[in-house]
Structure 1
Amino acid sequence: MALLGVLAISAAYWYVSPELPDVTTLKTVKLQTPLRIYSSDGQLISQFGEKRRIPLQFEQIPQPLIDAVLATEDARFYEHKGVDPIGILRAAFIVATTGKKSQGASTITMQVARNFFLTREKTYIRKVKEIFLAWHIEQLLSKDEILELYLNRSFFGNRAYGVGAAAQVYYGKDIQDLNLAQYAMIAGMPQSPSAANPIRNPQRGKTRRNVVLGRMLELDLITQQEYQQARNAEVSAKYHGAEIDLYAPYISEMVRDEMVAKYGEELAYTGGFSVYTTVDSRLQRLAQQSLRQNLYDYDERHGYRGPKAQLWQEEAWPQEQIIEYLAKQRREQDLTPAVVTQIEEKSATVLLRGGESIELDWDGIKWARAYVSDTRQGAAPKTVADVLTSGDLIWVRQQAGAWRLSQVPDASSAIVSMDPYSGALKALVGGYSFNQSQYNRVTQAKRQLGSNIKPFIYAAAIERDYTLATLVNNAPINQWDRRQGVAWRPKNSPDVYGGPTRLRVGLAQSINVMAVRALRHVGIDAAIDSLVRFGFDRSDMPRNESLALGSASATPLDVVTGYSVFANGGFLVKPYFIERIIDADQQMVFIAEPKVACSDCETLLAEQQVEPTNLTASTELGFALAVDEAIDDSEVTKVCPLPKERLADRVMSQQHAFLLTEAMKSAVWGGGNWSKKTGWNGTAWRAAQTVKRRDIAGKTGTTNEARDTWFSGFNPKLVTTVWVGFDDHNRQLGRTSWNNNLGQGQTMGAEAGAKTAGPGWNLFMRDALKGTPQVSAQVPEQVVSVRIDRETGLLSRNTDHTSRFEYFIQGTEPQEYVQSGEPEQTLFDQEEEQELFE
């Protein structure tokens, strides 16, 4: 009989051996793990992939969990050689005596064989293959390695694979932080992840858990007291999504697209890649908060559009019914659904999702005059009854610690912020809610630029021969178009004209007719060529004079890239958002090497005689010190450690970039002398009041009928663009009237870049730059400062309010002094008298 048994086994092996897979692949097995995306400082932003898995080393798996699994699945695991004869005989005896297969004979090694190489079909030939594979595995791997594979591969329901993921999915904790009852629950799930699922079927899950605890007690792996305490524990499992530290869906989707394009969909989602983005978690949160708050403010000044629904007309619902109804309502960003249950003259009681009852006071309601249209609002409410009624389903949010009536904004917005020297995106928000719309307005929405284009138009003019003191005629334009038979009459906003005006003032006050005349001076083709150098798409540039007023279209990412040229001293950097990629084996498979802006490096690369070797530590400016051992240590040479290929392309001289930056500082801080009644504000004066820094510069932008509003600006460390508008291009942002309930400080009149997009930029930059030292302007070589007359732009000997110091590139400064009492005015592109004042 023994001989027959040996022959039978040999025959079975001979029969199935051609079909047996190579188990040596287990040595290099790569478990499918999801794509994880992190901020630059290591906070998890998102993860993609059907399987949630957190691979663990054997040493990382707690002993109580190992004991629970072995007690339940394979108590003799460390004693048998892959197949347990005792277990097989026991299972066979039970089948023979009861006729039922109530106990399995598969060891953990056999389950590993099945999970990795075979199907789950219940056939005898599959079981034979399973046995032989188990023997092979035991010869190849140690017991601990086999158990590690099992614990990382097993399915636990709810897309959780492996005990590490199971701990996160069911308890929201790391595996080391669970208690005995929770270990027993996890250990009991692999055999029936659906039936014993503690979320779907808590009673059956508890029963299975207690069976596991009983086996542990029977094998003396736990004490009677531990057993009783764990057995009496309530089922604490509930579903936990991925442990996201920083919710940033728009940047996550950008990374996902990039990874799929780079590796293909299957490998990208299952290869266990960890992608570290350039996003700074603190700045990203500030950008999200600023965008939402700015949209709430816009929405509130345009009026209340009413409740989401009216739940009852006469007889109020019981509280249990309201709570049940609210449980089905989803939150939207920081808005919470609530139902009005009672109103007083100056307050309302509302029930929140979750059952908490709160009071809305008058300060959180009084803004809510009725919305009539984008350009009209109703009368200011006098009591709560003018706004709310019992049974209203509304939105509420917390602001400054108090609850406030709110609503989901109708308008859209985008904000993007980046490092102007490397192009690393530090914050990006493509809209109010990714749940509402996956459309990324930062990268996909091409909108008209309005006056946000003017710094680039003036840049072309200054590169030709203008200076900040050049007088350009601020007078009406009336140009006949023979082709269309109409006159083109661009207007200022407001429709006021002051005659010859210095370029600095024209840019800071966003004077339209001056920008048109500057464009004429440069020429349309030359201006378009200049815009293309700043990174804009030539196909989006209209070949007519409306270009000067911002009829060109661009995405916010295009705009922030263009403004970075001013911030970094003249270099065009390429935006990027992936810093590095690490594979499942913790190997670096990609690291970004962006071309960087560095004026010092540019100079050093041109001058250096020493190869970039034997360098001391790099300095913050991007260059290092090369020490020649043959000379005295005091004699050192500054050397740029970057190869020339890593230096971004220069598209504008450092001197011209400095001059344009200075002009945009005046857009924030204005000029003149208020005590002498000559003071004036730039269009971005609100930034001065909010951000309160002297190292910021920026420019507003508004298109015709306020369909698009912009604010772009920077300091030497950060450049940011904000856009606000409607996704429907035909819808205007409108205007608002005085709200008697709000008092001083409210925004009124037509929406514009300064009023609509600017506040979002101000909120973000105020907090983003908080705690960072102000950076003094570094005047480039060949830039001089001379005193000029404010009216004429000529040299002045006066030291009073009629003069100021102005920057010029050496050789372009005025050569004549203004004559006292006889102001001389040098006009560029001045039309004939009859055209100027028709």
Structure 2
Amino acid sequence: MAQKNKKAVKQTKSNAPYIRGFWILFFGSFGVLILIFLLASWGVFGSLPTFDELENPESNLATEILSSDGKTLGKFYNENRTPVKYNDLPQNLVDAVVATEDRRFYDHSGIDLRGTMRAVAYMGSKGGASTVTQQLAKLLFSDTPSNTLERLVQKVKEWIIATRLERQYTKEEIITMYLNKQDFLFQAVGIRSASKIYFDKEPIELRPEESAVIAAMLKNPRQFNPHREISKDNALERRNTVLALMAETGKITNVERDSLMAMPMKINFSPEGHADGIATYFREYLRAFMADWIKNNPKGKDADGNQEFYNIYRDGLVITTTIDSRMQRYAEQSVTEHMENLQREFDRQNERNKTAPFRDITQEEEEKILYRAMRTSDRWRKMAANGISEAKIKASFDIKTDMRVFAWKNGVSEIDTILTPKDSIRYYKRFLRAGLMSLTPQTGEVKAWVGGINYKHFQYDHVKTGKRQVGSTFKPFLYATAIDQLHLSPCDTIPNIPYCIPAGEMGAQRDWCPDNSGGQYGGMVTLKSALAQSINTVSARLMHRVGPQTVIDLIEKLGIDTENIPAVPSIALGTADISLFEMVSAYSAFANKGVHVEPQIVSTIVDKNGTVLYQSIPEAKDVLSKESAYVTVNLMEGVTQYGSGARLRSGPINSDVYKKVITGHPYRFKNPIAGKTGTTQNQSDGWFMGMVPNLVSGVWVGGDDRSVHFSSITYGQGATMALPIWGSFMKKCYEDEDLKISQGAFERPENLSIRIDCSESEASSHQSDILDELDF
């Protein structure tokens, strides 16, 4: 026995170095690990991410653009992130994330030791060990590790941050910040953007199977993305895995799991890029509006005393606009429907046009148009900036290249083709463009704004930026001036015979003798009929009586920029270039009893804390008397009763021409509508301005260049080019009863002294008086 004890003692002594070495290694490793944690926390391996973003989770946020009815129109952002609070998350989403990413989330303090030991023991083959808190910590690092050592150091930092997060925030706050920080691709940063982009709904509205799709993307948003064709199958499989895990953890029953897994994966992809969604032209104008507002409304001063300004790309402002999302959609739909039909007919007529899409120009003029377009293109600017010679730049426009171009094909579409850049310019020149704007005359609130047919491919805004000849839509300004100054009545009759303003009078350089369209002369016409039929000779007579400067003074009060409008008689026929924005704004005063209200596009601007930074205050001024405004409206009602706008009231339309360019059923409006069509020389521009008591809307249609136009007035008039868009828009608005668009009469002023009931006896009795007064 003694011998055995001696051997045991001897063996123990011989193993002592190993045992001692083991404990030294154990405690040494533990000490090194603690040292590494301490060094990392002291910043030896680089600074840890700050808590600024967590202490103020609403920093670096997208600015949201809201419609007047509370819908998101779009956002301004560098990072498309709009955070939500925990109460905005559906429980099924929280359950899906916990079941999939960290089922012991509510039990650990940032680091899951069991999971870590399992990951080490099985080398990660049975899952990783990162908790939701660690993943949130990882999201705070902007740089990706370039090697294993850096990743190990970052991992240590993640553990430190995770434990700090757990001490500072509740579990609900952590999972909310985690979902707000995630990038789900396609500009969907954060759960709210992801919910809106992939399902077009708020997070709280997500159903369990939709929440499972979102949770599935957390593993790898590219590999399990439901929108990418290449990853749809993976996304469906991963979604079902999430549902299975939810059943495993008791968040749903097995019956619910089987039912949900059997459902197809449906998404409603609604991108929120700057060129996506609705009101794209309006949003771009709003960007410029905000730049001016920011310049004049500083945020305050920073710690160094420097002036700070708001930033729409990161300050999380909320801009509530006057746009109504429903009316905006109806406007865009109406433009798309009509322009696709109109373009089809335009292309058909150009099949035998050797200079298509241009008309009435020489080859030299055509080359100048193309050269001018080349000079203003992005390609030219970029090449010139790199010092490339003009000769080489021009040569590059003749090299064929693959490109994706705009096309009309059951609505807006794109096609892949091979063209030279020069041919692509010609290709885009053939498309007719359009603009529509609508506002409430009593408040000046802009309700719809369509600046073109497709913002991605045609970024020039034909509401505010574009100015084109307005044609006969200018005549109501002339008539309003005459009514205001001369107290004319719609029933007054005027001879419809040729009329000239002699050279030297009113700025006319030579005798100005306008012709009537179609050469229609003879007899006496009432003022109301003269406007309805757009008789030019009557306009000439009125202009001779009131003078062009008086008319210009009126339109300036109505909000039109008159700097480049000469005081000459020809403006009576609409030779002036005016924007659609100005025209709608000016017409609104007629519907608003002679009071002009400056157009409003923004109601409020609120910062991320809910503080109101801007509240719109309408600017109104009296321009015309109530009587003059009402009589002018009465004149324009004649346009839609028996003039060029009568198509708005027609029953079945027999005209083959009109059938080719309208969609749906005839409008058959029965309510009072005041309006005016406009057509410019050579059919380059088609206009229609239409009003009901609480809505004024204008439409313009034309080519990018004035040489792009229809060959005849049959299709090239405002009644065919523009009026159908107005009619379709208003029909859609009327069908939506929630919009409460007026169908009643314009309010008649009390004690109206000007006759508007044009019975035969009244007209004949007043005829001699008006002829004497106007010295006709």
TM-score, normalised by the number of residues in structure 2: 0.70
1:257 Cα deviation from its structure 2 partner:
4.1
- For residues 370-381 of structure 1, the aligned pairs below 5 Å read none
- Give 3-state SS (helix, strand or coil) of 1:721's partner: strand
1:503 Cα deviation from its structure 2 partner:
3.8
Alpha-carbon separation, structure 2, partners of 1:687 and 1:53: 46
- Residue 422 of structure 1 aligns with an amino acid whose one-letter code is T
In structure 1, which of residues 214, 222, 240 is the aligned counterpart of residue 269 of structure 2? 240
Q: Deviations over 1:206-249 (max 9, x none)?
A: 7766776787677677777777887x768837682338997343
Q: CA RMSD in A?
A: 4.5
Aligned to 1:39: 67
Alpha-carbon separation, structure 1, partners of 2:471 and 2:486: 24
1:650 Cα deviation from its structure 2 partner:
0.8
Aligned to 1:276: 320
In structure 1, which of residues 665, 686, 689 is the aligned counterpart of residue 647 of structure 2? 686
1:448 Cα deviation from its structure 2 partner:
0.9
- Give 3-state SS (helix, strand or coil) of 1:268's partner: coil
- For residues 119-198 of structure 1, the aligned pairs below 5 Å read 119-121=143-145, 122-166=150-194, 186-187=214-215, 189-197=217-225
Asked whether 1:708 is paired with 2:732, we answer: no
Aligned to 2:576: 552
Q: Structure 1 727/56 Cα, relative in aligned 2: closer, same or farther at 3 Å?
A: same
Q: Structure 1 661/805 Cα, relative in aligned 2: closer, same or farther at 3 Å?
A: farther
Contact 1:16–1:129 (CA under 8 A) maintained in structure 2: no
1:417 Cα deviation from its structure 2 partner:
1.7
- Give 3-state SS (helix, strand or coil) of 1:434's partner: coil
1:480 Cα deviation from its structure 2 partner:
6.0
- Residue 556 of structure 1 aligns with an amino acid whose one-letter code is L
- Unaligned stretches of 5+ residues in structure 1: 308-327, 340-407, 596-647, 670-680, 737-748, 791-799, 807-813, 831-838
Alpha-carbon separation, structure 2, partners of 1:205 and 1:779: 63
- Residue 658 of structure 1 aligns with an amino acid whose one-letter code is Y
1:441 Cα deviation from its structure 2 partner:
1.2
Asked whether 1:826 is paired with 2:772, we answer: yes
Asked whether 1:570 is paired with 2:542, we answer: no
1:558 Cα deviation from its structure 2 partner:
0.9
Aligned to 1:657: 629
1:329 Cα deviation from its structure 2 partner:
10
Contact 1:581–1:589 (CA under 8 A) maintained in structure 2: yes
Q: Structure 1 501/117 Cα, relative in aligned 2: closer, same or farther at 3 Å?
A: same
1:452 Cα deviation from its structure 2 partner:
1.4
1:119 Cα deviation from its structure 2 partner:
3.7
Q: Structure 1 117/462 Cα, relative in aligned 2: closer, same or farther at 3 Å?
A: same
Q: Deviations over 1:511-535 (max 9, x none)?
A: 2122223222223333322221122
Aligned to 1:802: 761
Alpha-carbon separation, structure 2, partners of 1:300 and 1:270: 44
Asked whether 1:476 is paired with 2:498, we answer: yes
- Give 3-state SS (helix, strand or coil) of 1:432's partner: coil
Contact 1:508–1:664 (CA under 8 A) maintained in structure 2: yes
Q: Structure 1 504/720 Cα, relative in aligned 2: closer, same or farther at 3 Å?
A: same
1:35 Cα deviation from its structure 2 partner:
4.1
1:731 Cα deviation from its structure 2 partner:
3.3
Contact 2:560–2:582 (CA under 8 A) maintained in structure 1: yes
Contact 2:683–2:717 (CA under 8 A) maintained in structure 1: yes
Aligned to 1:731: 708
Aligned to 1:506: 530
1:553 Cα deviation from its structure 2 partner:
1.1
Alpha-carbon separation, structure 2, partners of 1:752 and 1:712: 13
1:491 Cα deviation from its structure 2 partner:
1.1
1:827 Cα deviation from its structure 2 partner:
5.7
In structure 2, which of residues 26, 35, 39 is the aligned counterpart of residue 12 of structure 1? 39
Aligned to 1:666: 638
Q: Structure 1 183/534 Cα, relative in aligned 2: closer, same or farther at 3 Å?
A: closer
Instruction: Say which is worse superposed, 51-60 or 232-241, in terms of deviation.
Output: 232-241
Contact 1:508–1:682 (CA under 8 A) maintained in structure 2: yes
Q: Structure 1 297/463 Cα, relative in aligned 2: closer, same or farther at 3 Å?
A: same
Q: Structure 1 170/248 Cα, relative in aligned 2: closer, same or farther at 3 Å?
A: closer
- Give 3-state SS (helix, strand or coil) of 1:427's partner: strand
Contact 2:687–2:722 (CA under 8 A) maintained in structure 1: yes
- For residues 53-64 of structure 1, the aligned pairs below 5 Å read 53=81, 55-63=83-91
1:552 Cα deviation from its structure 2 partner:
0.9
Asked whether 1:249 is paired with 2:249, we answer: no
Alpha-carbon separation, structure 1, partners of 2:439 and 2:245: 58
Alpha-carbon separation, structure 2, partners of 1:213 and 1:139: 31
Q: Structure 1 454/338 Cα, relative in aligned 2: closer, same or farther at 3 Å?
A: closer
Alpha-carbon separation, structure 1, partners of 2:533 and 2:37: 94
Q: Deviations over 1:323-353 (max 9, x none)?
A: xxxxx998747449999xxxxxxxxxxxxxx
- For residues 350-429 of structure 1, the aligned pairs below 5 Å read 410-429=431-450
In structure 1, which of residues 719, 723, 728 is the aligned counterpart of residue 696 of structure 2? 719
Q: Deviations over 1:448-497 (max 9, x none)?
A: 12221122122223333352266655432356648999653311223233
- Residue 288 of structure 1 aligns with an amino acid whose one-letter code is E
In structure 1, which of residues 518, 543, 564 is the aligned counterpart of residue 542 of structure 2? 518
Aligned to 1:695: 672
- Residue 753 of structure 1 aligns with an amino acid whose one-letter code is G
Contact 2:412–2:454 (CA under 8 A) maintained in structure 1: no
- Residue 242 of structure 1 aligns with an amino acid whose one-letter code is P
Q: Structure 1 758/73 Cα, relative in aligned 2: closer, same or farther at 3 Å?
A: closer
- Give 3-state SS (helix, strand or coil) of 2:74's partner: strand
1:253 Cα deviation from its structure 2 partner:
3.1
Q: Structure 1 787/111 Cα, relative in aligned 2: closer, same or farther at 3 Å?
A: closer
Contact 1:246–1:281 (CA under 8 A) maintained in structure 2: no
1:589 Cα deviation from its structure 2 partner:
4.3
Q: Structure 1 88/722 Cα, relative in aligned 2: closer, same or farther at 3 Å?
A: closer
Q: How many residues align?
A: 640
- Residue 286 of structure 2 aligns with an amino acid whose one-letter code is V
Contact 1:700–1:711 (CA under 8 A) maintained in structure 2: yes
Q: Structure 1 684/89 Cα, relative in aligned 2: closer, same or farther at 3 Å?
A: closer
- Residue 749 of structure 2 aligns with an amino acid whose one-letter code is P
Contact 1:72–1:187 (CA under 8 A) maintained in structure 2: yes
Asked whether 1:561 is paired with 2:522, we answer: no
Q: Structure 1 541/19 Cα, relative in aligned 2: closer, same or farther at 3 Å?
A: same
- For residues 292-331 of structure 1, the aligned pairs below 5 Å read 292-295=336-339, 298-299=342-343, 304=348
Alpha-carbon separation, structure 2, partners of 1:242 and 1:449: 36
- Give 3-state SS (helix, strand or coil) of 1:160's partner: coil
1:562 Cα deviation from its structure 2 partner:
1.1
Contact 2:60–2:316 (CA under 8 A) maintained in structure 1: yes
- Give 3-state SS (helix, strand or coil) of 1:729's partner: coil
- Residue 449 of structure 2 aligns with an amino acid whose one-letter code is L
- Give 3-state SS (helix, strand or coil) of 2:448's partner: strand
1:691 Cα deviation from its structure 2 partner:
5.0
- Residue 70 of structure 2 aligns with an amino acid whose one-letter code is G
- Give 3-state SS (helix, strand or coil) of 1:521's partner: helix
Q: Structure 1 457/270 Cα, relative in aligned 2: closer, same or farther at 3 Å?
A: same
Aligned to 2:718: 753
Alpha-carbon separation, structure 2, partners of 1:829 and 1:717: 38
